[in-house]
Structure 1
Amino acid sequence: MAGMALSLCLILAAALQPGLARAPGPPARPGPLLLRLRRLEEQFLRLQEVTLNHLQSIASNYNISYNIDGRFQALAEQAEVADAARAALGAELARLATAGRRLRRRLKKLEETVGALSPPHTQLTHPAAALEAGTKPQGLPDAARSTPSPRRPKTRRWQQHRQEDGQRLLGDARPGGAPGEDEESPGDVAAAPQSMAAVLPTVTTAPQEQPPGPPAPVPTAPACRTGSVLLFPNTSAEHGAVLGLGPHRGLRAVSLCAWLATPARHLGALLSYTTGEGHSELAMHGPGGDRPGSARFILGDGQFRELPVAPLLDGKWHHLCLTWSSGQGQYRFYMDRRLLAAGSGFQQGYEIPTGGSLVLGRGQDGPNMDMGTGEVFVGHLAGLALWRRALLPGEVARMVTGLWLPRGPLLTLADASLQGGVRRVACPCLQHCL
């Protein structure tokens, strides 16, 4: 063992001796093996860097896919919530539809009940007219006597209230009260409570159910103190009445009301308003032809609305009132205080210019007029007035019953100048003029 160690030392000494013996100089060039090892080390470092980058990209892609799964799960939960809300909304809409159907049925029953109660109400509305005519219903008192009432106390109290209302209405129907009634003598006034007592028990009878029908104008007693009556005798185009609308500011609302009676089969040209330049701004006339029961309400540049006027064509007195306002374009057509037609959006924002002429009974030539020469009005016209505002339904009703006339009309029949064969007829009450 010692010999082997000695030999190894000698070999090392022999190997180191040439290097020790040489003088110091520049370092020797590395050998091929060392260069190869260095290149392998550099390649290993580059491989390590590429591998690290690849691992980092794999990790980031994994995070993205994980986030997408979470988003999909959140969207699925939101879709479930939306389906539940949609189902709840559908159930609520079905409940509202059911409630709406029930409400319509209740309203229909209420309309039938109100329609069945309207005849007694009409009798109480004009008791003085029934007394003046000397007519007294006979069928209803007999039915009231023959039909026992199951709730007698309430019926008695109701009868007492109705009798008090009848006494009050009778006081209003005396001279100086509602128009349409002639003055009564003291004996008639003294006998009126007994006649009223005979009429009022008819109200205590429960009315029978009647099927609902189309609305009909409420019968009213013709008014008195309406002024003079204009008579348009025939279809001559020369007949007419002209009213001048002075230089007021433009009309952004208008109401036109009148009493009329016509025996014709169609209304004809009731009125026509044109400006000084000949432009038609306001008109109401029947279209003629195969539609005798309708009339056109024309406003501005030829725009019109159809109005039902068939109840007017019976030769009796009727009260009509037409209102329009520019703000919402609302128009209303009343006949005997009953609303027959209404709408909105008609010439909204329009203003009727003043300074023109209003012709009654016939049309005027103009670019916006579409009327034949034979379309003229035939009949009686009374109480016509024009306001620069839209009258309220209560004002129209009080005007029909003769209790009140709205103040401040722009035009009345007293301002009319007659043409052709139109003439004024003195008439204290309208029922005496036919």
Structure 2
Amino acid sequence: MCAALGMLGTRKMLSVFMILAAVCLQGTLVQQPGTAERRKLFFERFRRLEEQFRRFQEVTLMRLQEIAGNYNVSYNIDAKFEQLLSKHQGLESAANESHAATQEELSHLKALVKKLQNKGKKQDSKLEALEEALRERDREKAAERQQERALLANLTQEVESHREDTQAVHAGQQILQKALESLQDALKSQGSKLDELEQQLKNPVHNEVLLPNPLTAAQLLNRVPQEQEPEAAGGQNPTVKKLHGKHRQRKKLLQASTRLAAQSQGRGLQSGSPPGQEAPQQQEAEAEQPHLQEPQGLRQQQAVVDKAPEEQSQSEAPQKPGTICNVDSMLFFPNASTENFATFAPGFQAGLLELSLCSWVSTSANYLGTILSYATEDNDNKLVLHGRDAAPRNSIHFVIGDPAFRELPVGRILDGKWHHICVIWSSIQGRYWFYVDRRLASMGSKFQKGYEIPPKGSLVLGQEQDTMGGGFEPSESFVGYLAGLAIWDRALSPGEVSGIAIGRGLPRGTIFTLANISALHGALQKVNCTCLEHCL
């Protein structure tokens, strides 16, 4: 715009200059009327000057047009620059918005990736747990198969032993049958003799005729003790009443013998009884033997005529052989006193990664007290079979490394009878087993896995230690009998547990038995007995 104004001013100045020049020339010509030649020269010069001026004007106009064109170009450039700047700003804002959106999406993607990673870790942990569970299940199945094989082997052995017992019972039945047949023959002959004697006694008038000599021997043979003779009454001959009483006794004896034979045959046909009932059956059979031998003694009385009835008492039966003869000795805890306990010195000589404890237990109390406790200076509950006179009384605590423990069911032990228990623990998988009378009563895993029971502690039977070697409480004392207690530094197999319970020898590797007790305290008593049946 300024350049256009400058061009207009320049044009006005040139016009004014040309007018002034023409006026001056005209005045000069008027003042000096010269010759025609001067005029021609002047006009010639003037035309040249005018032509130059016109050319200059054209050139100036061209220059001005160029300047105006350049100005328009620069103005357009500024407008375009402003447009470009606004577009740049728009693009920049769009880029910023896109960057912000991208950052937000990236953060969202990062969160999703973290969630996926966490889910992946959880899935991996679940897969590992499932794999471990599968491996554990496979191991349990293998252990169950092994246990079933052991039980099958034990069952086979029991069946063989039952077969042998059945054969022995059949042989005894045959002998008894022969004895009964001979007894029946003897009773028949005695009955016929009695009938003849009664007939002969009825023939005399007053029933007072003396018997001939052959019948006197028969009368002496059938004589009964004086305290069993009936008194004469109603005018009847005492000899006749005596004979009638003897005849009734013979009939009762025959009926009792037949009934006993039938009962013995019924017991001989039974098989597959539980192992814990084998000893009672043998005791019943042995208790019945004197009654079954009574007819044979009677037959011997008939052979010897002059033998008095008072001299026919049978001798007492000898001590019966035991079936469980691996206990060696027994401890008797008479009452719930804190002074009754046994100690082992020293305790465990090395750390234990596995442990097995088996014992025969009998208690008449309504709870099972503390059987064993092992304490060290830094912990009073390194190993405890802890029971107390408090609810619940049908279970005890199996403690390894306080405060970790498991509850073991002992309700069926509290009946005053002998029961065999075994507690087994292994730190390899933290597994434990609890057997009662050869049956698995409880089991579990992840119990103090990798733990080691430390050595050089205090091992006590019958009391729970609150301090090392002391701190006993009466409510935690054991009351009853412990027989054949033994401890191993390894985990026993089900077959070994079953073998101990049926009276086989103790498995190898015992580290403590009742023979290793160093001291007995209080009223505690120790009884040496090889067989469990002879301990009480």
**TM-score class, shorter:** 0.5 to 0.7
**Is 1:378 aligned to 2:479, yes or no?**
yes
Q: Conserved in 1, the CA contact under 8 Å of 2:275 and 2:502?
A: no
Residue 251 of structure 1 is matched in structure 2 by 352
| Equivalent in the alignment of 1:99 | none
Cα distance change of structure 1 residues 18 and 402 upon mapping to structure 2, 3 Å threshold: farther
Structure 1: how far apart are the matches of 2:433 and 2:47? 131
Residue 447 of structure 2 corresponds to 346
CA shift digits 1:62-100 (9 cap, x unpaired): 9x99xx9xxx9xxxxxxxxxxxxxxxxxxxxxxxxxxxx
Q: Distance in 1 between matches of 2:48 and 2:173?
A: 164
Q: Does 1:198 align with 2:198?
A: no
Q: Is the strand fraction higher in 1 or 2?
A: 1
**Structure 2 contact 376–468 (Cα < 8 Å) conserved:** no
State the distance in 2 between where 1:347 and 1:247 align.
19
**Higher Cα Rg, which structure:** 2
Partner residue of 1:430?
A: 532
Q: Is the 8 A contact 2:340 2:524 kept in 1?
A: yes
Residues 156-213 of structure 1: per-residue CA shift (max 9 Å, x gap): xxxxxxxxxx4x3447879xxxxxxxxx89955999xx9898335x99xxxxxxxxxx
* Alignment check: 8 A CA contact 1:230 1:382 kept: yes
Q: Is contact 2:338–2:472 with CA below 8 Å preserved after alignment?
A: no
- Work out whether residues 127 and 196 of structure 1, in 8 Å CA contact, stay in contact via their aligned partners in 2: no
Structure 1 pair 30/218, CA: closer, same or farther in 2 (3 Å)?
farther
More displaced stretch, 344-353 vs 306-315: 344-353
- Deviation (angstroms), 1:342: 2.7
Alpha carbons of structure 1 residues 59 and 378: separation in structure 2 relative to 1, 3 Å: closer
Matched residue count: 305
The structure, 1 or 2, with the larger RCO (C-alpha pairs under 8 Å, 6+ apart) is 1
Q: CA-atom RMSD, angstroms?
A: 4.9
1:317 partner amino acid: W
User: Which of these residues, 239, 242, 249, is aligned with residue 340 of structure 2?
Assistant: 239
1:198 aligned partner, one-letter code: L
Equivalent residue in structure 1 for 2:67, among 10, 15, 35: 35
- Report the CA distance between 1:420 and its aligned residue: 2.6
Q: Superposed, which structure 2 residues align to 1:1-16 within 5 Å?
A: none
Q: Does 1:286 align with 2:387?
A: yes
State the identity as a percent: 38
More helix per residue: 2
* 2:76 corresponds to which of 35, 44, 55: 44
The answer on 1:328 being equivalent to 2:399 is no
Q: Deviation of residue 250 (structure 1)? A: 1.1
Deviation at 1:373, TM superposition (A): 2.5
Structure 2: which amino acid aligns with 1:418?
Answer: L
Given the alignment, which residue of 406, 418, 424 partners 2:520?
418
- Taking a change above 3 Å as real, the CA distance of residues 189 and 310 of structure 1, as seen in their structure-2 partners, is same
Answer whether contact 1:287 1:294 (CA < 8 A) is retained: no
- 3-state DSSP class of the match of 1:35? helix
Q: Is the 8 A contact 1:241 1:418 kept in 2?
A: yes
TM-score where L is the length of structure 1: 0.56
Cα separation, 1, equivalents of 2:48 and 2:70: 26
How far residue 326 of structure 1 moved from its aligned partner, in angstroms, is: 2.5
Q: Could you report, residue by residue, the CA deviation over 1:330-376 in whole angstroms, capped at 9, with x for unpaired residues?
A: 33222122222333333333322222332212233417998623432
Q: Which amino acid aligns with 2:527?
A: V
Q: Distance in 2 between matches of 1:288 and 1:346?
A: 25
Structure 2 counterpart of 1:408: 509
Unaligned runs of 5+ in 1: 1-13, 73-120, 129-165, 175-183, 204-216
Tell me the distance in 1 between the aligned counterparts of 2:270 and 2:410. 33
Q: CA deviation at 1:51?
A: 5.4
Residues of 2 paired with 1:397 and 1:328: CA distance? 23
User: What is the CA–CA distance in structure 2 between the aligned matches of 1:410 and 1:220, rounded to whole Å?
Assistant: 31
Cα pair 1:322 1:334 within 8 Å, conserved: yes
Query: Equivalent of 1:387, from 463, 488, 492?
Result: 488
CA contact (8 A) 1:227 1:427 kept: yes
What secondary structure, in the 3-state scheme, does the structure 2 residue paired with 1:290 have? coil
